[in-house]
A and B are shown apart, each in its own frame.
Chain A
Amino acid sequence: MTSRSADPPTRSRLTAEALSVGHGGQAVVQDIELDIFEGCMTALLGPNGSGKSTLLAGFARLLPALGGSVRLDGSDLATFPTRHVARVLGLLPQQPPVPEGLSVFDLVARGRFPHQGFFSQWSRQDEAAVGEALALAALADLADRPVETLSGGQRQRAWIAMVLAQETPLLLLDEPTTFLDAAHQVAILDLLRDLVRRHRRTVVCVLHDLNMALQYADRLVFLKEGRIRHVLTHPSQCDGRIIEEVFEMPVVSLKHPQSGLPVFLPCASRQPEARP
């Protein structure tokens, strides 16, 4: 199914050093040591409330570091000017709002804000970047449609296109596939993998669907109760023991017949009844 890039990860773009992040002075994630390597798709996994989204918010500078620091290319993220960060880090928040009366094109065009100024409000580069983002997200035909008339999957693609138009080398996505059916999840994850493989973007995403994450991500980070439990540099390293420890549920492990990567299913809660 996939041929993973054989070359080792080049360099770390984002680094968490003894990082604690939380709301209102209360740390939700603590003592995080993590490297986000360039040209990789890193998945953050863990049960509800494990601090995945909070960690992502810390990487995106939405929440300040309560302790430790996030380093962007070696320098403290907190010291960069806002505009610089907006040109390097793109963010898709969890369940973004549906702006009223905004067309898909206009939504995507707003991703160009960090590259625009009071005088240069719609340059050729802006137009080209929006066109490319729409094409990548397969939205060219829907560009004039109001966002609120789109289906859930199309809407999510429109938001991803907005982040793509920002043309940031790093993309942080918070549950981009939640609430989508399997086909739409695959479409979004194919798009993200395409970005990593063909466009050398670096993607970090919080994912809920463990098996999808195993098929698509290059690196897996498991969080539980605000701390990192396991960092796997390849999905094949994942086994039932890790899943049972992190998610606290008994699983059976299988191999995906095509990719050869592990797949986990919850154990049947009851023994099947013997047929008479």
Chain B
Amino acid sequence: MSRFLMPPPARNARRLALRLGPFSTRLAVRGLAANLLLASYLLLVVWLGLSLGSRPIPLATILAWLRLEQVNDTDSIILGSLRAPRLCLSMLSGAMLALSGALTQHVTRNGLADPGLIGVRSAAALLIVALILAWPQAPLALRPVVGLAGGLLAGLVVGLLARGASPLKFVMIGFGISWCLSSALVILLASADIRSLQRAMMWLAGSLEGADWPAVRLALVVFVPTAIACLGLARQAELLDLGAATASALGINQTRLHVACLAIAVLLVATSVSVAGGLGFVGLVAPHMARFLPRQGLAGRLICATLIGALLVMVADLAGNVAFAPIRLPVGISLAAIGAPVLILLLWLRRNRI
């Protein structure tokens, strides 16, 4: 039996070899530390999200509630049916958007690629708005189903049209489809009556008002298996950095890899749009923010971007709830208000490197 922890080889001190029986891996120490730091921030924001609001709840009560102990009814209802599902949903939707953005940007070799930009988000939004307008009494649970169908359909159409095309062409075709769908959405909104229009606009702005446990469950059911699949695919996908010829020579089936990665990305975005509305930016910005942290393997970078995305949406929702209380801003709006300056700041800081 091998020793559990190998001492790092002197020449390559920034990586740590980890071996246990047939299992072995190599970890980028600094990248791992960065990810753990982000995860601890996440816990901090979870605490803030559960305790802040029109009725502040002390940490002791939250911990007691988490241990399923008896707490007073008001706190229990506020935590169990308002704050906790909302927090979970903001975390999951941010994580899904960021993971999908990071994966798409890597696979298409394009720092601007984001499934939201290639028509997936527009298609999901179009179908959900159509549902809201055509059948205002429709149960909320129907929205994710419809959104998912629309998103996957758009992803399929773009995939088929761009089959075998270069990454750039793929993104361009996606842009085209996306614009078509957006104009269809505007036509739909322009012809709607004023009351359902308001509901549709609220949803479009990205809102977590309707957050409940069924939505969280749906998001979890999609997120957990796809995230695991991403970590499996990451080992292959990182070889794409070495060029198509080398990746093939190392035994990668690139067509299959591209299809798998993009299908996962589309699924994640469509799910996120269905449960949380049109949240812009996260998929685009989170992977770029991850580049400021120490270099690590693709799996580590994906985890890093996912954590950043979750943090972004949680912080934006929290800020939207607290900043102008008792008025609550839809998370899409506070996200844009926070995300846009952050993006510009990052680009400015990196101005010499692009």
A interface residues (Cβ-Cβ under 8 A, vs B): 57, 60-62, 82-83, 85-87, 89-91, 93, 96-97, 99-103, 105-107, 109-111, 113-114, 116, 118-124, 126-127, 140, 143-144, 162, 166
Give every chain B residue within 8 A of A96 (Cβ-Cβ): 242-243, 245-246
Does the CB pair B17–A122 fall under 8 Å?
A: yes
Report the minimum CB–CB distance from B233 to chain A (whole Å).
10
- Choice from A82, A105, A118 contacting B235 with Cβ under 8 Å: A118
B137 an interface residue at 8 Å Cβ cutoff?
no
Does the CB pair B235–A121 fall under 8 Å?
A: yes
If A93-B246, A105-B12 touch, does A123 touch B24 (CB 8 Å cutoff)? yes
Give every chain B residue within 8 A of A57 (Cβ-Cβ): 245
Does the CB pair A113–B243 fall under 8 Å?
A: no
- 28 A/B residue pairs, CB under 8 Å, sorted by A: A61-B248, A62-B245, A82-B251, A83-B251, A91-B245, A91-B246, A91-B249, A93-B243, A96-B242, A96-B243, A99-B242, A102-B241, A113-B250, A113-B252, A116-B235, A118-B235, A119-B23, A121-B25, A121-B235, A122-B24, A122-B26, A123-B19, A123-B24, A126-B24, A143-B11, A143-B12, A162-B246, A166-B250
Report the minimum CB–CB distance from B8 to chain A (whole Å).
11
Give every chain B residue within 8 A of A101 (Cβ-Cβ): 295
Give every chain B residue within 8 A of A97 (Cβ-Cβ): 241-243
Give every chain B residue within 8 A of A90 (Cβ-Cβ): 249
If A82-B251, A144-B12 touch, does A122 touch B245 (CB 8 Å cutoff)? no
B176 an interface residue at 8 Å Cβ cutoff?
no
Give every chain A residue within 8 A of B250 (Cβ-Cβ): 86, 110-111, 113-114, 166
Closest to A97 in B: B243
- Per-residue CB contact flags for chain B residues 291-312 toward chain A (1 = under 8 Å, else 0) read 0000100000000000000000
B139 an interface residue at 8 Å Cβ cutoff?
no
Report the minimum CB–CB distance from B225 to chain A (whole Å).
15
Does the CB pair B249–A86 fall under 8 Å?
A: yes
B232 an interface residue at 8 Å Cβ cutoff?
yes
Q: Give chain B interface residues in 1-38, CB to chain A under 8 Å.
A: 2, 9, 11-15, 17-19, 22-26
B253 an interface residue at 8 Å Cβ cutoff?
yes
Does the CB pair A105–B11 fall under 8 Å?
A: yes
B157 an interface residue at 8 Å Cβ cutoff?
no
- Choice from B25, B239, B241, B248 contacting A122 with Cβ under 8 Å: B25
Closest to A166 in B: B250
Report the minimum CB–CB distance from A163 to chain B (whole Å).
8
Closest to B12 in A: A105
What CA separation (Å) do A217 and B162 show in the bound complex? 44
Q: A62-B249, A109-B26, A113-B250 are in contact. List 14 more A-B contacts (CB 8 A).
A: A62-B245, A82-B251, A82-B253, A86-B251, A90-B249, A96-B245, A100-B241, A119-B24, A121-B26, A124-B24, A127-B9, A127-B17, A144-B13, A162-B242
Give every chain A residue within 8 A of B246 (Cβ-Cβ): 91, 93, 96, 162
Does the CB pair A110–B239 fall under 8 Å?
A: yes
Does the CB pair A144–B14 fall under 8 Å?
A: yes
Closest to B26 in A: A122
Give every chain B residue within 8 A of A60 (Cβ-Cβ): 245, 248-249
What CA separation (Å) do A62 and B13 show in the bound complex? 36
Give every chain A residue within 8 A of B249 (Cβ-Cβ): 60, 62, 86, 89-91, 93
If A97-B243, A110-B250, A114-B251 touch, does A120 touch B22 (CB 8 Å cutoff)? yes
- Per-residue CB contact flags for chain B residues 186-212 toward chain A (1 = under 8 Å, else 0) read 000000000000000000000000000
What CA separation (Å) do A124 and B318 show in the bound complex? 48
If A105-B11, A144-B12 touch, does A113 touch B17 (CB 8 Å cutoff)? no
Report the minimum CB–CB distance from A20 to chain B (whole Å).
20
Does the CB pair A144–B11 fall under 8 Å?
A: yes
Give every chain A residue within 8 A of B241 (Cβ-Cβ): 97, 99-100, 102
Give every chain B residue within 8 A of A110 (Cβ-Cβ): 238-239, 242, 250
- Per-residue CB contact flags for chain B residues 219-255 toward chain A (1 = under 8 Å, else 0) read 0000000000000100110110111011011111100
- Choice from B19, B239, B245, B295 contacting A113 with Cβ under 8 Å: B239
Give every chain A residue within 8 A of B245 (Cβ-Cβ): 57, 60, 62, 91, 93, 96
Give every chain B residue within 8 A of A126 (Cβ-Cβ): 24
Give every chain A residue within 8 A of B12 (Cβ-Cβ): 103, 105, 143-144
Report the minimum CB–CB distance from A179 to chain B (whole Å).
16
Give every chain B residue within 8 A of A122 (Cβ-Cβ): 17-19, 24-26
Give every chain A residue within 8 A of B19 (Cβ-Cβ): 122-124
Report the minimum CB–CB distance from A6 to chain B (whole Å).
33
Report the minimum CB–CB distance from B59 to chain A (whole Å).
39
What CA separation (Å) do A122 and B235 show in the bound complex? 12
Report the minimum CB–CB distance from B227 to chain A (whole Å).
15
- Rank and list the top 7 A-B pairs by shortest CB-CB distance, nearest first: A86-B251, A91-B249, A93-B245, A122-B26, A121-B25, A99-B241, A113-B250
